[in-house]
Amino acid sequence: MKKISDLFSRSNRKRILFQSFFFGVIATAGVISNAFSLSSKAYAQTPPPIVNNTEINSYAQAVLAMEPARQNAFEEIKKLIGNGEIPKIVCNDPNSISGLPKKAQDIAVNYCAHAQKIVQDNGLRFDQFNKITIELQNNNMLKRQVYNTLLRLQQTPDSR
């Protein structure tokens, strides 16, 4: 049986120290190479932003500008339909409008034309506006950016 003093002999200590140093170097090299490989993958996988700040600002301005017209159109259609449920109206989906009574269809079409003009007046194409609207449903960071922009625009006089 070995004595405790034998475990700590000079040659044993050198061997243990060398092994510790060797495993330390391997572990450190592994961590460093892993860090580089992860960071390069992250950069390669990071998609470019879908919407830039100018588009977010234009989108928010358009939303604020069209909101009074949207509420007005909604109230007019609600009066025409009465107690019935108002279907979801999507401007670029003719089927959502064709299910309405004729006079309500006219109101919806007029609103959509007005909304499209507002979007264009605020520097966006209608397809860009729709793309942002769809992206908002799945992108919480974009949703927060648009929300903060809407708040800022509503608090700043003469911002629109």
Q: Are residues 41 and 60 in the same domain?
A: no
> What confidence category does residue 58 fall into, taking pLDDT thresholds of 50, 70 and 90?
very high
Which of the 8 DSSP states describes residue 51? S
| pLDDT tens track for 15-44 | 554 454 444 444 444 444 444 444 444 445
Residues 111, 89 share a domain? yes
CA pair distance 56, 145, nearest whole angstrom: 7
Could you tell me if 66 and 105 lie in one domain? yes
Give the tokens for residue 3: 């004595």
Contact 135, 47 (CB under 8 A): no
Q: Are residues 35 and 102 in the same domain?
A: no
**Domains of the chain: total:** 2
Considering only CA atoms, give the Rg of the chain: 31
User: 109-127: per-residue pLDDT in tens?
Assistant: 999 999 999 999 999 998 8
Residues 115 and 80 in one domain: yes
Indicate if 37 and 57 belong to the same structural domain.
no
82 and 135 both lie in a single domain: yes
Calpha distance 11→27 (Å, rounded):
24
Q: What is the pLDDT of residues 71-81, one digit of tens each?
A: 999 999 989 88
SS (H, E, C) 64-96: HHHHHHHHHHHHHHHHHHCCCCCCCCCCCCHHH
Asked whether the beta carbons of 67 and 156 are under 8 A apart, the reply is no
Structure tokens at 108: 């919806």
Answer left, alpha or beta for residue 47, where phi above 0 means left and psi between -120 and 50 means alpha. beta
- The reply to whether 114 and 72 lie within a common domain is yes
Report if residue 69 sits inside a domain: yes
Please check whether residue 160 lies inside any domain of the structure. no
Q: Which residue has the higher pLDDT, 5 or 145?
A: 145
At residue 4, what is the residue type? I
